[in-house]
Structure 1
Amino acid sequence: MKKIVDVAAGVITRPDGSFLLGQRAPGTFYPGYWEFPGGKVEAGETPAQALVRELDEELGIRVQALNPWLMREHHYEHAHVRLHFFEVPAWSGEVNDHVHSALVWQHAGRLEVGPMLPANGPILKALRLPRTMGITHAGEIGVEAQLAVLDTALAGGLRLVQVREPALDAAVRESFAIEAVRRARAAGALAVVNGDEQLALRCGADGVHLPAVQLAALDVRPDLPWVGASCHTRAELERAAALELDYAVLGAVGETPTHPGQAALGWEGFARLAAGLPLPVFAVGGLTAADMAAARAAGAHGIAAIRGVWGAFA
């Protein structure tokens, strides 16, 4: 049995959404392949400490901020690697090439280099996932009102919509879903339908979002491009990961009108439950756009909200 080697990797980002990749040099494993910069965690180091050191040594930059993000394991021919991915949104110094054959800034939706190191490849899909999810509530505010705020939010930059309408009757829910998905797709946004895979297929959605009860009943991942799930426990998060879902939504971080009286996780509880998972996790529960920095610091991919998101794009 191969010993597990812990590696820290940095998703170094710029304000335009691009991230840095390095090409592995000749004489190393997988020469010519592209990877996220980083390196082995040495004895006595945390993965975060290792990444700060490695980025100084490899690139000559000083990390000013980093956020825990994903953890993925991969079995190479020479080692069993456990990769701790961190997002690095702020650093100082000039990026210099000390160990790689080349460095490039790339965007997840239009990668121009390859091949990617096998353990790093799945990270690219996670990077395509927008950071803010707007969850519809037309059953509460009315269909026309919801479509109006949806249009405003899409025009303002919202790029991920979950159609969640348990209060609407079936016919109205379907017509609303069709129209919401149409508008989202026209704006270049992803749209998922809550709890109904067949409705997602009929209305041309990008995927389906599974309530926790559906997640527990599944044996295989639904055959759609994007599949996520609502989770409230570590076991549910691990179930979502085992099914290779694309994301999870974890909460409630704070109290919400949707779940009155439910104990809130808080950021400490969220960070504890979401740590070390291979899929992005959104924070949900009484959140607004103002909570994004706290969410990312706790290891969240971003935030999801029923009420707190729509006004942010007005």
Structure 2
Amino acid sequence: MRRFTRALVATVLTASVVAGTAGWASATSQRPVTGMPVGTAEWRAEGLPDPARLTPAQAGAYFASLTPARQRELAAAHPTVVGNLDGAPLALRYAANARSAGGRFAGQQLLAYDPRGRGQAVLVYGDLARAAHVAVIVPGSDIDAGNLAPLTRKATALREATGGRTAVIAWAGYTTPVGVGLDAAGGELAEAGADRLARFAEGLAAVGAAAPSVFCHSYGSVVCGLAARRIDATDLVVLGSPGMRADRAADLGTGARVWAAKDPTDWIDRVPYVTLAGLGHGTDPAAPEFGARRIDAADARGHDGYFAPGTSSLRAFAAIAEGAAR
């Protein structure tokens, strides 16, 4: 009976999405990439501290105990470990990831790079170490190391809207759903992503970066909802959200201000805001009963238009990122 109920719910949710997206959907199942990066066994074999047992703060303390020459030596010998070790020095991680990515992101600040699966990458725009304000953008479906353009456009638009004053992080640091289907209706990928996002946020604090405002698009808002209580953020902003796996903003357990945007042409509004048999993500964060602060998105267009230059939503995002919104 449970299997039948789950299948029925999946059929209803997927049919709703197909109707709202002109027939585009995918049943491709994704396995979340988890655990320590490639090269960890070789790192451990040298008697170096086990990355799986280090908190970001401990990783930062370990590198602080080394000479600059030894730090560079480890980054050169073990780039996939150092480049993905939250809490390690920023410049060291940029150098390590440039090496392990083989020039794929030449000239960019690559804070994390994991080639496993479809690939994950985290890009930084601005001076993360010195910026007074930091923003993190968490994407939804179809974003990976091979398809970063939709995410990087959002990141550069937000940075430009703040006059270049805010350091913006394009965080493609989890396995996203492909298309809109059962994975997007379920929570498995979001749960794995939430763990990675929470650790990433700890890493930002460990290197002394400013507490971030976190912008969560589409399925990324499910990730943010599950991670909310573990992230020291100033603001949590969801846009085009299918739900956050919470009935109310107060249930997220975060001290951050919670904001929501949904434009009138976004197909996400046709997705049922329910949770049943493990599928669906609950209350619409843009609904009054959820209790989030509303962001005007009336002039945004479609599911992916919230960061378009000149829109009210982008202006509001910039004000939030700079700590100027009330």
Structure of higher RCO (CA pairs closer than 8 Å, 6+ residues apart): 2
Q: TM-score, normalised by structure 2?
A: 0.29
* Structure that is richer in strand per residue: 1
